Amino acid sequence: MSMPTMKLLRTAALGGVLALGLSACGETSQVPVYKDGKYSGKADTRPWESAEFKGDKAAWEAALKNRARGQNEYNRGD
């Protein structure tokens, strides 16, 4: 499935959630809440939904863990 299509589908599925979220917010905060890859009517997909990871959150987390290792030279010996 191509990315844009996936995105469309998700947008449709999440529409209801977003509406709920906004109405709840109105009471407590002026800041719109980012929910599930959408912001203020625009798509901002979650990082693991990218072309590289295609929604595989575990793979994305593993990739990030691996990159984090690069920031610690103690991983390459004392």
Q: Is 77 left (phi over 0), alpha (psi -120 to 50) or beta?
A: left
What are the start-end ranges of the H helices in the chain? 3-28, 57-69
Among 15, 19, 24, 44, binds another protein (CB under 8 A): 44
User: Could you say whether residue 51 binds another protein (CB under 8 A)?
Assistant: yes
Q: Nearest to residue 13, comparing CAs of 44, 33, 38?
A: 38
Shortest Cβ 16–another protein spacing (Å): 19
- Which of 5, 16, 23, 42 binds another protein (CB under 8 A)? It is 42
Counted residue by residue, the chain has a size of: 78
Binding site residues, another protein, CB under 8 A: 3-4, 7, 30-34, 39-40, 42-53, 57, 59-61, 63-65, 67-74, 76-78
